[in-house]
Amino acid sequence: MSRRYSLQGWASPATTRTRVFALGRDVFLRDASTTRWKRGTKGFVSMDRPARARPHVFLLSLAFLGFISLGLPDAVTGVAWPSVRDTFGLRQGAVGLVLVISGLGYLLSSFFAGRLTHAVGLGLLLAVSTGLVAAAMYGFAFSPVWGAFILSGWVHGLGSGAIDSGLNGYAAHHMPTRHLIWLHACYCFGALIGPILMSSFLSSGRPYSAGYSAVGGTMLVMAILFLMTYRSWGETSPAASPHLPVGAGVALRSSTVWLQMSIFFLYTGLEVTFSQWTYTVLTESRHVGARTAGLAVGVYWGCLGAGRVLSGFIADRVGVDRLLRYCFLGALTGAMLLASGVSGEAAFLGVALAGLGLAPAFPCLMSRTPRRLGPQVSAHAIGFQVGAAMIGAAAVPGVLGVMAGRAGLEAVPVGAAVLLGTLTFLHERLIRLPDVGLATE
């Protein structure tokens, strides 16, 4: 006979995804994150894990579309750049200025995303930010001078940073871990579609402005959808939140916030490092053929995407902390294999392990943030983490590149292995800290 128990201050077991069984006068609960059983009393039980209000299926679908659209513009400029360069009569390295300006805008908006969300509500922030990205795409398409193109990059960064932080924050507070993981898989899908879309326009003889306009039109549709549903996202606005928001300065005084920012910094930097440097190391240092080295990079990205899809099915069962422990150890094994100087099949195994091991890290770490820090602090911390990830994506492969220039290309895989060991250590330290989410409820 099935029995129902009321959970004081919490939602039903089905909502919290916590398993419950009764033994005598006691109730035992298994927390899906830690896989440890908690003991309570029939009638009323307490839990460490706050309930997550499930979003409406339409909002869930819109969030998935939002992550696809977030990935669409990110890799488009790389394909369009030769045409853009020739149009404005620029040098090859001028693309770096666009990336830097866009990155600064991204960093600025992601760091202030928590404050903006509390000020205007998440729905309106998503609508305005997506509109900014749409405007930036049209700016890229029709800029009459190089300065206007650079300004469009700044606008693109401002919009993307707020969208990324806002959607990550919403998903971390309102969705199970598997959905957050699959959201990031959707980002990879969008990043795959964007270059294909742009290259299809260019290969058919149409100007790069047509590709940017197509992406801009897609973003404009998303902005309209966010605007039409902005009240439905209002749970994260001040009026609907039962938690009094804290200032960004309070969040930055938390040592746990800085520890998580360090982890995001290293993780994203390593993810980009394996993507950016694997081909060069294999071809120029280990004399692997260009086609084989390119296939190795493809294997890395394939494992990264497949790992995110697969880990979504097991994250809630295994537990996020345990899953990340195993994944980081697997990635470290792959990095050490690459650092040993192997080539051929062994190199493929190394990059595959690195891709699979790093795959669930970003969404899993993000999903644990509200419980680890509490809802007030996490509203700011998620934006800080996205900003730290942005800095790491530029700094880590850049620093390893400087090392390669001085000590040779083999310094890159060795440095990556050392940094992955540091990342694993920091994560072990993080999971030993007590969660403060209960104290803030």
* 189-232: pLDDT as tens digits: 887 788 788 888 988 999 999 999 999 999 999 999 999 988 88
> Alpha carbon of 255 to those of 321, 376, 433: distances in Å?
19, 15, 11
The Cα–Cα gap between 161 and 294 comes to 30
pLDDT 10s digits, 420-433: 999 999 999 999 98
439 in a domain, yes or no?
no
436 in a domain, yes or no?
no
Residues 4 and 105 in one domain: no
Residues 314 and 214 in one domain: no
Q: Please report where in the chains the tokens 């080295």 appear, as a residue.
A: 293
pLDDT of residue 102: 85
> Alpha carbon of 114 to those of 123, 140, 160, 170, 280: distances in Å?
13, 28, 14, 11, 39
381 in a domain, yes or no?
yes
Q: Please report where in the chains the tokens 């996490």 appear, as a residue.
A: 378
Residues 66 and 41 in one domain: no
| Torsion angle of the four alpha carbons 156, 159, 161, 163, in this order, in degrees rounded to the nearest 10 | -130
Q: Which amino acid is at 47?
A: M
437 in a domain, yes or no?
no
Q: Which of 220, 241, 262 is the last residue of a domain?
A: 241
Phi, psi (degrees; rounded to nearest 5) at 439: -70, -25
Nearest to 27 by CA among 10, 51, 7, 9: 7
| CB-CB contact of 73 with 192 (8 Å) | no
Structurally, the chain folds into a number of domains equal to 3
pLDDT of residue 208: 92
Question: 356 is in which domain, residue-wise?
Answer: 249-431
Q: What Rg value do the Cα atoms of the chain yield, rounded?
A: 23
47 in a domain, yes or no?
yes
Residues 74 and 107 in one domain: yes
- Contacts of residue 174, Cβ cutoff 8 Å, sequence gap at least 6: 52, 53, 54, 55, 235
CA angle 228, 76, 226 (to 5 degrees): 5
- Contacts of residue 76, Cβ cutoff 8 Å, sequence gap at least 6: 194, 195, 197, 198, 211, 212, 215
pLDDT of residue 295: 83
pLDDT of residue 78: 72
Residues 19 and 131 in one domain: no
Q: Which of 241, 267, 300 is the last residue of a domain?
A: 241
Residues 361 and 410 in one domain: yes
CA atoms within 13 A on the CB side of 65: 17
Residues 256 and 232 in one domain: no
Q: Assign residue 366 the CATH number of its domain.
A: 1.20.1250.20
Residues 265 and 123 in one domain: no
Nearest to 275 by CA among 292, 298, 291: 298
**Size of the chain, expressed as the number of residues it contains:** 441
Nearest to 2 by CA among 17, 14, 11, 10: 14
CA–chain centroid gap for 160, Å, is 12
Residues 333 and 373 in one domain: yes
pLDDT 10s digits, 82-114: 889 899 998 866 877 887 888 888 888 887 877
Q: Divide the 441 residues of the chain into consecutive groups of 10 and give the mean pLDDT of each group.
A: 38 40 39 43 39 63 85 79 89 77 86 80 91 96 95 93 84 80 82 81 91 95 91 56 60 87 94 84 85 82 86 87 94 94 86 92 87 80 85 85 88 95 96 65 34
pLDDT of residue 4: 40
pLDDT of residue 56: 65
Structure tokens at 176: 């199970």
Residues 357 and 407 in one domain: yes
pLDDT of residue 2: 39
pLDDT of residue 214: 95
210 in a domain, yes or no?
yes
Residues 196 and 285 in one domain: no
Q: Which amino acid is at 74?
A: D
Residues 235 and 321 in one domain: no
3-state secondary structure the chain: CCCCCCCCCCCCHHHHCCEEEEECCEEEEECCCCCCEEEEECCECCCCCCCCCCCCHHHHHHHHHHHHHHHCCCCHHHHHHHHHHHHHCCCHHHHHHHHHHHHHHHHHHHHCHHHHHHHHCHHHHHHHHHHHHHHHHHHHHHCCCHHHHHHHHHHHHHHHHHHHHHHHHHHHHHCCHHHHHHHHHHHHHHHHHHHHHHHHHHHCCCCHHHHHHHHHHHHHHHHHHHHHCHHHHHHHCCCCCCCCCCCHHHHHCCHHHHHHHHHHHHHHHHHHHHHHHHHHHHHHHCCCCHHHHHHHHHHHHHHHHHHHHHHHHHHHHHCHHHHHHHHHHHHHHHHHHHHCCCCCHHHHHHHHHHHHHHCCHHHHHHHHHHHHHCHHHHHHHHHHHHHHHHHHHHHHHHHHHHHHHHHCCCHHHHHHHHHHHHHHHHHHHHHCCCCCCCCCC
